A and B are shown apart, each in its own frame.
Chain A
C-alpha cells in the first residue's frame, strides 16, 4: 500500500515520531491534499513544540478551529489556558455546591493544575472533544513524541480498569449500607453515589470512544515519521515495540528528508555534502532491511523549510503526486 491510498481510506490520520523530523509539515501537507480533493479536513497539533502557526504562516494559537481555505481547518490549542479555564470551572462548581472552597481543596486544585501531565490531559481531552463532535471528513493529528503518545494511548485502558474497580466498590458499598440499615435502621453516609458514578461513566465513555478509534484499525491510520539518521531509526524501533504492547500496529513508516541520490553524481556538489548523502544511503539500507514492508513513502529533502500555502501545494504534489 502506498501512503496516498492509506490516507484516503482512513478517517483519522495520526502522524507520530521524534520532534523535528517534519511531522507537522507532513500533517499540513496531507491536510492540504485531502482538502483539495473536496473533503472537509481539520489538522490538529497535539505536540506542544510543533507549530501549525509557522507552517501555515497564520496565528492559530488558542484561536479554536480556524478555516484556512475552503474545507481546510486547523486547530492549535493553548493547553495552559484550557487548564486554567478548567480549574476555574471546578472551583466554581464547588462554590455553587458548598458556598466556599476549603483551603486544602484550593491548594489541591492549584498543585494539580501545575503538573505537566495536566496540559497533556487537557490536549487529549480536546482531541476527544473534537472527534466526538464529528464535524469533519478527515481528522489529522500531529502527535507528540512517542513517550507521551504512548502514555496517552495507554491511559484509556488503564482508566478503564480503575473505573470498573470503582464501580465494583460502589456496588459492594451499597450492599453493606443495605445490611446496616436492615440490622440497625441506621443510614450510612458515604460519598454521594449518582454524581460520581455519572462523571466516571462519562469519562469512561470518552476514553472508550478514543480507545476504539486508536486501536480500531479500520478508520485510523498511524504513521511514524523517520529520517535516515541512526538516532531516528533507533527511536522508531522502540516506538514500534511500545505501540505493539498496547495492541497498536503502525499503518506505515514515512521516511522524510531524504537527499536525492542523483546529487552524488553531480560534480558541483561539495564533498562534505556527498559524504553526508552516502551516510544517508547506508542508513536507508538499514531502514529498508528493518522496516521493509512498513515503508509507505520516501520524501525528498526540500531545498528550504516548506512554509505557506504555495509551498504546501508543492510538497503535496511531491508526496501525493
Chain B
C-alpha cells in the first residue's frame, strides 16, 4: 500500500492519497503489530541458531556454522535489534 505514487497527477494522486489515508487508519496498526510479532519470531529463531555469536550458545557451534551461510545478510540487523534498549514504550505497537 505504501508504494510511491509520485508519477500520478491531479485527481489520481488525490485518490491514492485518500486510499492510503484510509488504509493507514483502518489497517496499518494491524500490519505494524504483525510485523513486530514477526520481528520477535525472527529474533528468537536467530537466537536459537546463531546465539553462539552473542555468547549464548544454544546450538553447538559446529551446527551453527553449517547454518551460517544462510543467515549472513540478517546477522547485522539481528544483533542491532537484540542489543537495542527496549521497554514497554517500544512494545505499544506490538511485541
Whether the complex brings A and B within 8 Å at their CB atoms is answered yes
> Interface with B: A25-33, A118-126, A252-260, A268-276, which one?
A118-126
A314 at the interface (CB under 8 A from B): no
Query: Would you call B60 and A155 a contact (CB within 8 A)?
Result: yes
CA distance A86 to B46 in the complex (A): 21
Interface size on A, residues (CB 8 A): 46
Interface residues of A in 89-128 (CB under 8 A from B): 90, 93-94, 97-98, 102, 104-105, 108-109, 112-113, 115, 117-118, 121-122, 125
A71 vs B44: C-alpha distance in the bound complex, in angstroms? 49
Report yes or no: A98 in contact with B72, Cβ–Cβ below 8 A: yes
Per a CB cutoff under 8 Å, which of A118, A184, A186 touches B61?
A118
B68 close to A185 (CB less than 8 A) = no
Assess whether B28 is in contact with A184, with CB atoms less than 8 Å apart: yes
Interface digits, B50-89 against A, CB 8 Å rule (1 contact, 0 not)? 0011000011111111111111111110000000000000
B31 at the interface (CB under 8 A from A): yes
Set B49, B61, B71: member contacting A117, Cβ < 8 A? B61
Are B37 and A196 closer than 8 Å at their CB atoms? no
A126 to chain B, nearest CB (A): 11
Interface residue? A190 (CB, 8 A): yes
| Complex: A236 Cα to B44 Cα, angstroms | 40
Q: Which of A94, A102, A105, A169 contacts B45, CB < 8 Å?
A: A169
Q: Does A200 contact B (CB under 8 A)?
A: yes
The verdict on A173 contacting B48 (CB below 8 Å), with A121-B62, A196-B71 known, is no
Would A104 and B75 be within 8 Å (CB), given that A184-B28, A188-B35 are in contact?
A: yes
* 19 A-B contact pairs sorted by A residue (CB < 8 Å): A97-B72, A104-B75, A109-B65, A117-B62, A159-B59, A162-B58, A162-B59, A165-B48, A169-B48, A173-B41, A173-B45, A184-B1, A184-B23, A186-B2, A190-B45, A191-B46, A196-B49, A196-B70, A199-B67
